[in-house]
Structure 1
Amino acid sequence: MSQAPLPLRTLFCIGVNQNFFDATAEEAKAVWAAFSQMMSGIGKLPGVRVLGNLDDDRSMVGPSLNWPWTTYVLADVPDLDTVHAACNLFRTTPVGDGAYKLWKYCRVEARVGRELVIPD
C-alpha cells in the first residue's frame, strides 16, 4: 500500500508594480476586486490548503520589483501543476471590463519546497 504524496509547501510571493500606483481611483478599485477574486481562487483550487498570508504594505511603500515582496500566501499544494494553475490566475483574472488582466498590476513568484520537520 503506497502512501499519498506529501503536499508541496508553497510560498506565493506577490509584488505590486507601478501600474497599480499609476491607476485612477476607479481602476485601483477594480484591481482590488480582481485581487480578491484571485486570492479566493487560489484557495478554491483542488487540494489546496491556504495556511496563511502576510501583507507588508505598512512597512514597504511603493512597487516591489523583487524581494521583499508586498504580500505572501503560504499554502500546501498537491502538485506542481496546481502551483502553476495558481500562478496562472494572475494571467487570467480580468480587471474591470476585462481589457487588462491582473498581471498588469502585480506579479507572482512561487517558491516550492516541503514542510520542515525537525526529527526527534
Structure 2
Amino acid sequence: MSDKKPLRVLFCIAINQNFFDAPAAEAKAVWAAFGEMWRGIEALPGVRVLGNMDDDQAMVGASNGWPWTTYLLADVPDLERVHAACNLFRTTPVGDGTHRLWRYCRVEARTGRELIIQA
C-alpha cells in the first residue's frame, strides 16, 4: 500500500469592487466574515496551513484575476476538503446575513502536490 499524500493547495483570493464600494460599516462586517472564513479553512479536519501572503500594499483596488489580492497555502487531505474550503465563501454570512462573503471576494484553488527534488 502507498501512503496517500496530502494535496498542496494554493487558495488564490480576489477582493472585488463590491468591497471597495461598501460603506465603512459594511466593509468592517466583510472583514469580520473574511476572518471567520479564514479560521474556517484552518479548522477543517486534516488541513494544515503552511502560510499566506497579502499583496495589498503593491496592488490597489479590485482584483479581477491574477495577480490575486491574497493567498493561502495549505496541505489538504483530499479534494472534498478543498471544495469545503471554497464553499465557505458561499456560506459565510456578512453582517446581518443579507449577503454572503462571495459577494465581496472570490477564490480559486490551485491544487497539486508538493514538489520533491530527488538528490
1:101-120 paired onto structure 2 within 5 Å: 101-120=100-119
* RMSD over equivalenced CA pairs, Å: 0.5
Q: What CA deviation, in whole Å up to 9, does each residue of 1:51-97 have, x standing for no partner?
A: 00000000000000000000000000000000000000000000000
Match of 2:55 in 1: 56
Q: What CA deviation, in whole Å up to 9, does each residue of 1:30-58 have, x standing for no partner?
A: 00000000000000001000000000000
Match of 2:43 in 1: 44
What's the CA shift for 1:3? 3.5
Match of 2:86 in 1: 87
Identity of aligned residues (%): 72
What TM-score do the two structures reach when normalised by structure 2?
Answer: 0.99
Aligned partner of residue 116 in structure 2, secondary structure:
coil
What's the CA shift for 1:4? 3.0
Runs of 4+ off more than 3 Å: none
Q: How many residues align?
A: 119
Aligned partner of residue 75 in structure 2, secondary structure:
strand
Unmatched segments (≥5 aa) in structure 1: none
Q: Distance in 2 between matches of 1:5 and 1:86?
A: 20
Q: Distance in 2 between matches of 1:55 and 1:73?
A: 9
Unmatched segments (≥5 aa) in structure 2: none
